[in-house]
Amino acid sequence: EAYRALDSKFARLYEVNSGDVVLVRPDGFVAAKLGAMDAASASQQLQRILCTILGVSETAVEPLLEAVA
Asked whether 50 and 31 are in contact (CB, 8 A), the reply is no
pLDDT of residue 18: 72
**Contact yes or no for 16/5 (Cβ under 8 A):** no
Q: What's the pLDDT score for residue 5?
A: 56
Whole-number pLDDT of residue 69: 60
- Position 40 scores a pLDDT of 80
Higher pLDDT, 37 or 2: 37
Does the pTM surpass 0.85? The reply is no
